[in-house]
Copies of this chain bind each other. A is one copy, B any other.
């Protein structure tokens, strides 16, 4: 049994996971306090969970963290965490829990989870795209995550899709993330209607037959689909797995994604690249992803 930890900007979830993918027990703590306070609380909570389930020790710990670097075991300059600079989280957790610990970013962890337990079982070459507040990416090639030179490959949300387009949180203009995330959809709605609303409200309006809301989903999907066609030209995957809050819009989003991707693909790939939805329960997906990383140690 291993531990999977999903560190988010406000809360951290963790779970004790059997290698068949069942989450035996779960817990969560707030992401906050000083770094030492946080790591102490996390490790005591996790160890408590392990003991409560009749185990002396866990075999390994996997963590999905914002800006988590697999190569170094450090969180590096995450903007949405209280601790700045470079945080050697894997070493700290490993020392306190007494088991090896590996980290990576959330989208990479999600890719490992889908490959072991979800939509990408049996698929060795795929691209994971998470559509949440931002857009994350994880690339699997030959059955292994592509980490790149510095551990930060797969920053798919920061590919430029609109020259001089919307300002992105990264300070540049026109990133995929500024359009095809929950935040992007909400912004499209504000530009269109002048009203503040969440992507969920836009989804509801589309389901209720509001034409403007349906158009936002078809335009968002078309932009994502065209961009996915470019990613296919780079890594030639068998499938693309889509997860994250915005993907709950289902076919309203995925149908235009498929259409635009197929129209944009080179002839040799047309009709051959599958777009799949995450096949993990959304509450446990991140923990299962992190646990999958632990199982690779």
Binding site for B on A (CB under 8 A): 76-77, 124-125, 137, 139, 141-142, 144, 146-156, 158-160, 163, 170-172, 226, 229-231, 233-238, 264, 266-268, 272
Q: What is the bound-complex CA distance between A279 and B161, given in angstroms?
A: 33
Closest 6 A/B residue pairs (Cβ): A148-B236, A153-B236, A125-B149, A149-B238, A155-B233, A159-B230
Chain B residues whose C-beta falls within 8 Å of the C-beta of A124 in the assembled complex = 149
Chain B residues whose C-beta falls within 8 Å of the C-beta of A163 in the assembled complex = 226
Contact present for A233 and B141 (CB under 8 Å) = no
Copies of the chain in the assembly: 2
Given contacts A163-B226, A170-B266, 15 further A-B contacts (CB under 8 A): A76-B268, A139-B235, A141-B146, A141-B148, A142-B147, A152-B268, A154-B236, A155-B233, A155-B236, A156-B233, A158-B233, A160-B230, A170-B267, A230-B230, A235-B235
Contact present for A236 and B170 (CB under 8 Å) = no
Contact present for A266 and B125 (CB under 8 Å) = no
Q: What is the bound-complex CA distance between A269 and B268, given in angstroms?
A: 33
Q: What is the bound-complex CA distance between A122 and B189, given in angstroms?
A: 49
Say yes or no: A234-B236 contact (C-beta < 8 A), given A171-B267, A264-B172. Answer: no
Return A250 CB to nearest CB of chain B, in Å. 25
Return A119 CB to nearest CB of chain B, in Å. 15
